[in-house]
Structure 1
């Protein structure tokens, strides 16, 4: 009997040793409506890990088998939503969720150094962004209340402030990277911002400020590859070589370039490409004698389809294709595998 008892105790201890400690959330929740919810998801694969109704009390809940990695804590209260990044691991998380102040980072105490760095990131964000966010709220409200006579002016003003917001977000990440050059969080934050195509130079500047170990990590190498790809497609950048031939069998020749060149990547079977062709024909007639050249690069595989559309849509600017479809080097070098894509290039840059 004693042997069986010892065996049960041993098995129980083994199971408890194998069972990871949970991530426990102790949150003070207040000022939310009756149907508000908290959702915790993995930021890496989108898996929903926990959904809880907000009770406007001291709430405690657990994620029993947490997987280390980036996660989001999201609140939804009607149309009001808040979303915050954090680093998920086992241990205790404490904080305050306030429905009247959703811009405030809710987590005040976390179990790991990785998590503490996120608290610092959001402190930087609060310090650097308050005035701009207040101004953006004002112009967004003005846009909502616009009349037909002033809607264009207010829309342009809102766009300017949105651009300022993107630059501010990059500056916040830059400040964080300077404080934590050895943190992989910077790679994650840049990835989540998702403006590599339009802000390649700023991305590269931030990337170069990181420790070599972070740069040479798998995520670091992937981001650098993305930055370099985006740099190739920016207006004014040096244009990669165009592979393939024109319908007459001639290879791409730099002599066709003018002061400004618009590279248009397309396919004959893409509806958006065909619709764009109608607009491009008119634009080409307007600009072709003003030191501007259009250059079509097709990702087609079937020569007949490609040539027939050139004829049917009256595309009179230079056209090239290697007829390799998505496997074409042009797809990678000129449009990052996107159709339809246009980019302007200057001669000599």
Structure 2
């Protein structure tokens, strides 16, 4: 008899551990277009866990076996996409999803403290950024209706407000981290913001404000590694050594550097890299006799393909590769595994500029540093 009771108790424990209770979303949806969609995505792998057409009414849907963790509630209405973060677990989520009020967080009642933290994060965000949101909306509307005569001016104004929005986003995360130092949501938010390369010092400051337990978590350690990697490529830092050889077997040496040097991280099989090469060839002709050098660093593995593209694209500046592909120390140390990627260095190998340096700004950045302007 005791044996049967033990089996029943064990089964009861197993069943309770595998509680099939779903995550249920009860939303009032309004002011969306006829083909608008709401979806729930896992932040871990961007897997879509649920997708529903928005009905503009009282709308209910559920995820039968929710995978606990940070998630994204996403709306797609024509060309407009909006994302809201929350913590997915079993239980009831209620709120209002308004297509005309996308800056207001839609979830009002949630089943876990992690999602309650997000409600507070968005409350902080709105209180700190409302005027900015309004100004950006006006600037983007004016860009939408711009004429040929003023479109460049309107685009520049909109870009300035977008950059102010980005700075405000980081300030929002900083305020949240100060209020919730024990929350791992800050790690999630910094990862989603994705500007460790360009806001390295601010990232490190926010990270160091968190409790030690959060810093020592698996995701905390991973983010810190990314921050420190970006930190060594900040302007004023000494660039890491370039590993590998030229096609004719010469190792990299600082003596090849000139006053201003454009380091180009690329791969021969990339269509984007090939298109960039067309622009870079002309740019090199402009600067090659003006104390400027280009340095190509390839993340390729196949030497024949690498050499073939160098010849076909007429890349006459020094080229280096250790032919280790993504396992190359160059990929980790120089560009954090990004290709294509650009940065500038001086004749001593000191980084001059690398923060989100795109091909559009390479010319002006070279010119600026060549003239000695900071």
Tell me if TM exceeds 0.5.
yes
Once structures 1 and 2 are overlaid, which stretch shifts more, 58-67 or 189-198?
58-67
Distance 1:36 1:273 in 2: 36
How does 1:71-86 map onto structure 2 within 5 Å? Answer: 71-79=71-79, 81-86=81-86
Partners of 1:81 and 1:102 within 8 A in 2? no
Partners of 2:239 and 2:349 within 8 A in 1? no
Larger radius of gyration: 1
Distance 1:138 1:318 in 2: 48
Partners of 1:234 and 1:343 within 8 A in 2? no
How far 1:56 moved relative to its partner?
A: 4.6
When residues 332 and 56 of structure 1 are mapped into structure 2, their CA distance, relative to the original with a 3 A threshold, is: closer
What is residue 46 of structure 1 aligned with on the other side?
46
Distance 1:267 1:31 in 2: 46
What is residue 99 of structure 1 aligned with on the other side?
99
Distance 1:133 1:325 in 2: 43
When residues 47 and 313 of structure 1 are mapped into structure 2, their CA distance, relative to the original with a 3 A threshold, is: closer
Under a length normalisation based on structure 1, what TM-score does the superposition of the two structures give?
0.85
What is residue 62 of structure 2 aligned with on the other side?
62
| 3-state SS of 1:317 partner | coil
When residues 216 and 301 of structure 1 are mapped into structure 2, their CA distance, relative to the original with a 3 A threshold, is: same
Partners of 2:257 and 2:349 within 8 A in 1? no
Structure 1: runs of 5+ lacking an equivalent: 1-5
What is residue 137 of structure 1 aligned with on the other side?
137
How does 1:264-275 map onto structure 2 within 5 Å? Answer: 264-275=264-275
Once structures 1 and 2 are overlaid, which stretch shifts more, 74-83 or 122-131?
74-83
What is residue 195 of structure 1 aligned with on the other side?
195
Distance 1:316 1:306 in 2: 13
What is residue 158 of structure 2 aligned with on the other side?
158
What are the Cα deviations for residues 289-328 of structure 1, in whole angstroms up to 9, with x where unaligned?
4333211223344445544554554433332222333332
| 3-state SS of 1:92 partner | strand
What is residue 184 of structure 1 aligned with on the other side?
184
What are the Cα deviations for residues 5-53 of structure 1, in whole angstroms up to 9, with x where unaligned?
x9xx999977863434333334344444565543222222333333445
Distance 2:13 2:300 in 1: 60
Partners of 2:233 and 2:334 within 8 A in 1? yes
Partners of 1:36 and 1:78 within 8 A in 2? yes
What is residue 109 of structure 1 aligned with on the other side?
109
Distance 2:99 2:75 in 1: 9
Distance 1:312 1:208 in 2: 49
Partners of 1:86 and 1:118 within 8 A in 2? yes
How does 1:1-349 map onto structure 2 within 5 Å? Answer: 17=16, 18-32=18-32, 36-79=36-79, 81-307=81-307, 309-311=309-311, 313-346=313-346, 347=348, 349=350
Structure 2: runs of 5+ lacking an equivalent: 351-374
- The count of residues paired between Structure 1 and Structure 2 equals 342
How far 1:203 moved relative to its partner?
A: 1.8
What are the Cα deviations for residues 191-223 of structure 1, in whole angstroms up to 9, with x where unaligned?
112222322222222212211211111111111
| 3-state SS of 2:49 partner | strand
| 3-state SS of 1:240 partner | coil
Partners of 2:203 and 2:227 within 8 A in 1? yes
Distance 2:80 2:277 in 1: 41
How far 1:71 moved relative to its partner?
A: 1.6
| 3-state SS of 2:222 partner | helix
When residues 12 and 33 of structure 1 are mapped into structure 2, their CA distance, relative to the original with a 3 A threshold, is: farther
When residues 228 and 29 of structure 1 are mapped into structure 2, their CA distance, relative to the original with a 3 A threshold, is: same
Under a length normalisation based on structure 2, what TM-score does the superposition of the two structures give?
0.80
Partners of 1:182 and 1:210 within 8 A in 2? yes
Distance 1:55 1:304 in 2: 56
Distance 2:47 2:269 in 1: 35
Once structures 1 and 2 are overlaid, which stretch shifts more, 243-252 or 304-313?
304-313
